[in-house]
Amino acid sequence: FFVRDRRAPEPRPAPARVAPAGPPLPPVDATALIRGMFHSGTDQPAPGLGTLPLDWLDPALLSTALRRVLGQNEGALALQYGQPAGDMRLRQALALRLGGLGLQASAEQIVTATGATHALDIVSRALLAPGDAVLVDEPGWAVEFARLSQLGMRLLPVPRGADGPDLAVLETLAREHRPRLYVTISVLHNPTGNSLTPAGAYQLLRLAEQHDFRVVEDDTYGELAPAHLPRLAALDGLQRTLYVSGFSKILTPGWRVGYVAAPPSLIERLIDVKLLSTLTTPAILEQALAYCLEQGSLRRHVERVHARLDGARQRAVQLALDHGCRFVTPPQGLFGWVDTGVDTEVLAQRLHDQGWLLAPGHLFHARRRPSTLMRINFATSQHARFWQAFDRACGR
């Protein structure tokens, strides 16, 4: 038996009072936007969010998959590193899924990652050196601009319109700067929501062949798109293309499972970079995802999300039009690219004080400049009270 002294300790001088930390600052760059998504400080819907709302996800699907994997393997996976290239069961399931998109890739041509962003980082570190020129879409994904710039790459923005990238500008940039890569989203582009036409995809691949650069196809939002839309990697057969995707946008952001499909000659290089960055990826999550793919539970979840998103998009589009916005590109998928008629950086600051997270247009340009555009998430922009706050912030 032991006796513990329970006397109160001597009082210490009270520390100086510090004002409680307020909500994070409004987004002024890619990192700030991400921090705002993680720490919104409010329970209001976030029109600038990059993912589905939490109540659209299916926790029962996830828990069932995890229980099944742990039951089959008696928890042994929790005590082991995963395979360097990723769990073979998942890679086989992914190869089958890619076949449904017309992309023929074996399991040996797939390397898993902790999310699509990590897969893009693996590709960049494996194929690029500081100072290399990289073609990117503009407007485009703010995080990709920031990530490539941090690695020391020279960004070559290619204007992106309703019909896809401006191929004339792309050809001029390729001829003058000899880029190593073109990182693009061919289906449900972020932030415009548009997709490449078959003719545009064919011409783009011809330019890649002519000017000797590889194309990295980011299909992060592919689960929200019709399967018949053309993928560059399917047309090219993974000759000059690398295909990147993940499941955080459709399944749950917390399961960081992504992957890259690549030509066989690059696989060992990609695995080496992966091993140096994360050693391996979590086998339990990868096998749980494989179970979701094999049993069709992910497909059924995707179908439910499609139906719900179609309704949300219709409501959000009508609200945006009613409140004076104009869609720059036809609304499709999860995102709308809208012209508000006012400086959206100022607008984001005003609405941030009321608890609304916006994604102003300047975040989607490789070189910062004022913009009247903003990206809205259809799933989180279908609420009248946001648009009423929007009107007040615009002075309408």
Q: pLDDT of 98-140, one tens digit each?
A: 999 999 999 999 999 999 999 999 999 999 999 999 999 999 9
With a cut of 70, say whether residue 59 has pLDDT above it: yes
Kindly list the domain boundaries of the chain, sorted by start residue. 30-35+42-57+299-394, 71-295
Q: Determine the pLDDT at residue 1.
A: 67
pLDDT bracket for residue 85 (50, 70, 90)? very high
pLDDT given for residue 386 in this prediction: 95
pLDDT, residue 20, reads 40
Above 60 in pLDDT, residue 30?
A: no
How much is the pLDDT for 17? 41
- Report the pLDDT value the prediction gives residue 253, as an integer from 0 to 100: 86
Give the torsion sign (CA, 133, 136, 138, 139): negative
Alpha carbon distance 312, 158 (integer Å): 31
Q: Residue 361 pLDDT more than 70? A: yes
What is the average pLDDT value for the chain, to the nearest integer? Answer: 89
Identity of the amino acid at 88: M
Mean pLDDT of 342-364: 92
Residue 23 has pLDDT above 50, yes or no: no
C-alpha dihedral over 194, 199, 200, 204, to 10 degrees? Answer: 140
What are phi and psi for residue 308, nearest 5 degrees? -70, -40
Amino acid at site 190: N
pLDDT of residue 218: 97
Residue 384: both structure tokens together: 């009248």
CB 242 within 8 A of CB 216: yes
* Distance (Å) of CA 214 to CA 179, 238, 242: 9, 10, 8
Q: Which residue has the tokens 């769990």?
A: 87
pLDDT at 18: 40
Query: Hey, is 9 helix, strand or coil?
Result: coil
Give the percent of the chain with pLDDT over 70: 87
Give the tens place of pLDDT for each residue, 278-332. 988 999 999 999 999 999 999 999 999 999 999 999 999 999 999 999 999 999 9
The domain over range 71-295 is classified in CATH as 3.40.640.10:
yes
For residue 297, the tally of other CB atoms under 10 A from its CB is: 17
Fold for 30-35+42-57+299-394, please state it. Aspartate Aminotransferase, domain 1 (3.90.1150)
* Bridge partners, 244 (sequence order): 218, 260
Which pLDDT belongs to residue 70? 86
Residue 18 CB-density burial (10 A; 0-12 exposed, 13-18 middle, 19+ buried): exposed
Supply the pLDDT for residue 81: 84
Give dist(CA 327, CA 352) in Å, integer.
23
Residues 165, 159: contact at Cβ < 8 Å? yes
pLDDT at 27: 52
Across the range 373-395, mean pLDDT stands at: 95
Contact 236, 207 (CB under 8 A): no
pLDDT at position 24: 45
Task: Flag the least confident range among 33-37, 165-169, 297-301, 387-391.
Answer: 33-37
Please tell me the pTM assigned to this model: 0.89
User: What is the rounded CA–CA span in Å between residue 166 and residue 70?
Assistant: 49
Assign residue 154 a region (left: φ > 0; alpha: ψ between -120 and 50; beta: otherwise).
beta
